[in-house]
Amino acid sequence: MHLTIVGSGYVGLVTGTCLANTGNDVTCLDLDTARVDRLKQGECPIYEPGLTELMTRNVAAGRLRFTADQDEAYRDAEVIFICVGTPTRPDGSSDTSAVEQVAKDIARALGDGLPAEHPLVVVKSTVPVGTTQHVADTIRAATDTPCSVADNPEFLKEGDAINDFQKPDRVVCGIEDEHGRNVLQNLYTPYIRQGNPCLFMDIPSAEMVKYASNAMLACRISFINEMARLCDHFDADISRVREGMSTDRRIGREFLYPGLGYGGSCFPKDTLAVIEMGRKAGRPSLLNEAVHQVNQDQRIWFLDRIKATLGEDLTGLRIGIWGLAFKPRTDDIREAPSRTIIDGLLKAGATVTGYDPVAMDNMKALGLEIELADDMYEAARDSDAIVICTEWSEFRSPDLPKLRSVMKSPTVFDGRNLWLPEDMAELGFTYQSVGRPSHAPSAVRN
């Protein structure tokens, strides 16, 4: 099948590459010529494990190509996926102007007779309810050439997107006719052979599924963080509380890990979009408003704990930051808790040294007055404390005696609860984490 993917960002590139890998002929269109040039040279502009290898393999096989030429991209297209960004406006709403422009471009291409007969236009960008219908109306107002429209939200986790696309929990398809159903069924059949469902529904419901799913996951994260703060006040242990909760099959274990809160490009944006949709509809989304506020407060609460220990004025102190990305296995620092922590430390006068396995370039591009180290021990060297902001695997089992030896003062603020408080105290660390009793150093073992 001849497919056109409009937008070669995170969603578009993963979608195009994976669909090419099942034998489809895929053209990725992006108006950023510099990005297209990089892609043509085999350079993947985003960090996602496994994506570069899969992309280059399908380019070599002739199934995947990149272009900034709209006529080239739309020619003979049987399915057109809209995968452009919908960033958050200052009021919290989603900016769908790029989606609207693509709709106009598709209408022009249809009028020029470029796509195949009766193509399917699929909105894969995360859009407020009603946007896909607006895309359909825009296209049909500009041309009489028939096409079908559908909504097919993505559920890709950064750091595991290839696996999520190829082995989805479910595929959600909002359709308006049988043509859309048949095309999407054929496209996704290779990915659902293990029995996971391909769910067909009306378009508004499909648009809402994406928001409802992310809002639910964000809610669980904020809930466990709120419980962690209560545990901290009452000297309870959130690890034990979580254990007691999650053995209840109605609750389960997923997304109930206390920490510094969620970040990245999805949960913050989608939660704010739900809130704004509720405001516009006259149906305030009170729960989601609270979820967002708890999340923003969580990182400030942890920053306040650091200052309560080290002092409000951190002038003259050196603090190391382990982890800059909002989560492991990605270089994405959008809405990352580390940014709030670093900003607060710098404003308090501290010298900050950061380290992350893959997000260093993105942090450097922000132009913050921080030093960047070559490894995690260098980030901790001569420090008065370190703060763990991202749960990278290499941070889970470091050489703790070595860490203690390079630090000026062995003080750790673990924002991801990676280590056992008792072990840290025994090794001579002052150790604070999230929702667990703090531990001062005990007699250090010889």
Quick one: which of 314, 339, 344 has its CA closest to 409? Answer: 314
Task: List all residues 6 or more positions away from 352 whose beta carbon is below 8 Å from its beta carbon.
Answer: 318, 319, 320, 321, 342, 345, 346, 369, 370, 371
Among the options 83, 147, 266, 389, which is catalytic?
266
Quick one: which of 169, 165, 206, 199 has its CA closest to 181? Answer: 199
Tell me if residue 266 is catalytic. yes
Quick one: which of 325, 40, 373 has its CA closest to 159? Answer: 325
Q: Is the distance from CB of 417 to CB of 258 less than 8 angstroms? A: yes
Q: Is the distance from CB of 204 to CB of 174 less than 8 angstroms? A: yes
Alpha carbon 91 to chain centroid, angstroms: 21
Q: How far apart are CA 369 and CA 354, in angstroms?
A: 11
Q: What residues are annotated to the active site?
A: 266
